[in-house]
Amino acid sequence: MGSKARFSKEILPIILKDRITEQWYIEPFAGGMNAICEVQGNRIANDKNLHLIAMWKGLLENREKPTEISKELYDRARTEYNSRTNIEFDDFMIGWFGWMGSANGRFFDGGYSGKSNTKIGTVRDYINEAISNIERQLPKMVGVQFENKDYNELEIPTNSIIYCDIPYQGTKQYSTSKDFNHSNFWNWCREKAKQGHTVFVSEYNAPDDFKCVWEKEAKSSLSANGKIGGNKVSTERLFLYCN
């Protein structure tokens, strides 16, 4: 959910069009890393979600982890996550079970995904699918610098390209993205652009001083009225701040 995998082929050529060699590409809201994994060169992936960044760092360090995730194992990890304790599992492991084992990529909020029977009589193994997807992404993430901060505390190298895939306004948000303040965010973009960075943002809408440079109608499980599950058509947009 919220993944940019579907659009990265279309939006990245726009975002990277004028990139010069050695110029840094920064994602302050990197989430599932579906866009940043398709970019080369100097990159910083930041996300405020502790377990997400711990998982990616651990994966790139080749940490051992189980690839069979039973409901029982998942529940033990969820208990530690909910009680904010690390007894049996560290942050990497909690991240692994939470991201690989939950339905709809929604961390523990989504509940255990496991397997389900399809209408055509086959079995879908969601955990296996999630693990295969992340394994395909991993080699493309080698060399990325990870940070685990609130976006406005992130240190950004001079003259960077910043791409922000923020929690969309008016859509239901979970965990780290709850209480996201959009007007503070737009002000931060203005400030970053004044400092010399090039700032792109994915959203349905933006203030008038942001120019829409790409748009596409897309079916979304995240409908614009904040309810999940209605297959609403929304217009995905990419904005560039122009000062």
Q: Which residues bind ligand SAM (CB under 6 A)?
A: 2-4, 28-29, 31-32, 34-35, 47-49, 150-151, 165, 167, 176-177, 180
Nearest approach in angstroms of CB 120 to ligand SAM is: 29
Nearest approach in angstroms of CB 197 to ligand SAM is: 16
Nearest approach in angstroms of CB 123 to ligand SAM is: 26
Convert the chain into a string of H (helix), E (strand) and C (coil).
CCCCCCCHHHHHHHHCCCCCCCCCEEECCCCCCCCHHHCCCCEEEECCCHHHHHHHHHHHCCCCCCCCCCHHHHHHHHHHHHCCCCCCCCHHHHHHHHHHHEHHHCHHHHCECCEEECCCCCEEEHHHHHHHHHHHHHHHHCCCEEECCCHHHCCCCCCCEEEEECCCCCCCCCHHHCCCCHHHHHHHHHHHHHCCCEEEEEECCCCCCEEEEEEEEEEEEECCCCCEEEEEEEEEEEEEECC
Calculate ∠ Cα 200-201-206, nearest 5°: 120
Nearest approach in angstroms of CB 136 to ligand SAM is: 14
Closest to ligand SAM by CB, 101 vs 167, is 167
Nearest approach in angstroms of CB 205 to ligand SAM is: 15
Closest to ligand SAM by CB, 47 vs 91, is 47
Closest to ligand SAM by CB, 29 vs 89, is 29
Closest to ligand SAM by CB, 6 vs 115, is 6
Nearest approach in angstroms of CB 190 to ligand SAM is: 17
Closest to ligand SAM by CB, 26 vs 240, is 26
Closest to ligand SAM by CB, 76 vs 140, is 140
